[in-house]
Structure 1
Amino acid sequence: MTPRHVRALRGTAAAWVATVVAATAHTLSGGGAPSPAFVAAVGILAAPFAVALVGRRLSAWRVGATVLASQGLFHVAFAVTADADPAALHGHHVTHLGGDLSAVVLPDSPMLAAHVLAAIATVAALYGGERMLRALGRGIRSLFSRARAIAPRPPMPRFAPAPAGPVVVAARIVLSDVSRRGPPVLV
């Protein structure tokens, strides 16, 4: 893989893992559960930004900054859209939902703790997971290089010595007039 492919894979994985972990942490800490389609949309929109933020080399700080930024953005997106209009569930009653948007967007302490723990878990999973995959790849590559070194060589063809005298080849064609070919005899 080229460095560009590795960077794209790292950023996309960071976006998707951070999205799913953020949605789970947001839901478990008391926020409304976002729909799977919304989680997919946020993951798709977050992937290019995560690719730009993660950088060329694996760095816990860059991955951590990417995940923390994405956790904040995901919280805002989930808080604004999850259960956005509870008055719509009451049929024809119209209710003015006045108030400050910062009350919805700013997390309370359980929500903040859940997002911070989710960010730590995401960074550990992404950073440790990539290091583990690289070590696994190096180990498999070294096993295959050893297997090639130990593999037996193909046998060399052996030639039979040439006969000392003239070779007599038996005739394979029978030269006779007797032919047993014909229709079968009826009994």
Structure 2
Amino acid sequence: MSTRWTRVARGSLAAGFSTFVAAFSHALAGGTAPSVAALSLAIAFSTMICVALAGRGLSYWRIGASVAVSQVFFHTLFSLIATPAAHTVGARPAAHSGHDMAAMFAPTGPAASNGMAITIDVAMVAGHVLAAIATFAAIIWGERAVRGLLAAALLRTTRLASLLLPTPVFAPRAVRLGRVHRIDAPAMLEVLRASLWHRGPPLFA
């Protein structure tokens, strides 16, 4: 996979997971459930941010920055564009129908009661901080786990292919030795002994 598509895949994964965790933590901390429009805008903008911040390698500060920016954006978006209230008591919200766009983008809950003001309490901050930590850990360890699984799968595939496919057998090549000169040892000894036999002591002057 090329570097460009690796950045797109990593940024999209970070955006999708952080959007899910942020929506869950936002609703769990007491906020209103995000509408379909809010989730769509959150995924679109967070994907652009995460892809832009994603680098070649597994940089901690780039992933942390993308997760932090996404969480702040999620809280703002979920507070402004919340699920509209029902028109009648006990009726289900009608935001999923998609016909009343004004009702879908109308702020409800704390944002509507305080005049579009976004209330940030301790539970909400703690929820988004925990969501950011969970998202950061999942992206870091998740990518390492995926790389490990791919490496293990490639190794097993290579071993299986080596067992199933026939291994080519090559015939051994004949090694040609050079010419060996034979030395006749007895003949050499006879020549040496003859030269020493006729040699006498030196003459005195």
TM-score scaled by length of structure 1: 0.69
Whether the 8 Å contact between 2:42 and 2:73 is mirrored in structure 1 is no
Secondary structure of 1:117's match? helix
Range that drifts further, 146-155 or 18-27: 146-155
Whether the 8 Å contact between 2:38 and 2:82 is mirrored in structure 1 is no
- In structure 1, runs of 5+ residues without a counterpart are 91-96, 157-187
Identical aligned residues as a percent: 40
Identify the match of residue 110 of structure 1 among 117, 123, 126: 123
CA offsets, 1:23-50, max 9 Å, x none?
Answer: 1110010000011342123202221111
Secondary structure of 1:58's match? coil
Q: Which amino acid is the alignment partner of residue 32 of structure 2?
A: G
Larger radius of gyration: 2
> How far has the Cα of 1:146 moved from its partner?
1.6
**Residue-pair matches, total:** 146
Whether the 8 Å contact between 2:25 and 2:128 is mirrored in structure 1 is yes
* Aligned match of 2:151: 138
- In structure 2, runs of 5+ residues without a counterpart are 89-111, 170-205
> How far has the Cα of 1:151 moved from its partner?
2.7
> How far has the Cα of 1:134 moved from its partner?
0.5
Secondary structure of 1:30's match? coil
Greater relative contact order: 1 or 2 (C-alpha under 8 angstroms, separation 6 or more)?
1
Secondary structure of 1:31's match? coil
* Aligned match of 1:72: 72
- 1:129 and 2:142 are equivalent in the alignment: yes
* Aligned match of 2:81: 81
> How far has the Cα of 1:3 moved from its partner?
1.4
Q: Which amino acid is the alignment partner of residue 136 of structure 2?
A: V
Q: Which amino acid is the alignment partner of residue 158 of structure 2?
A: S
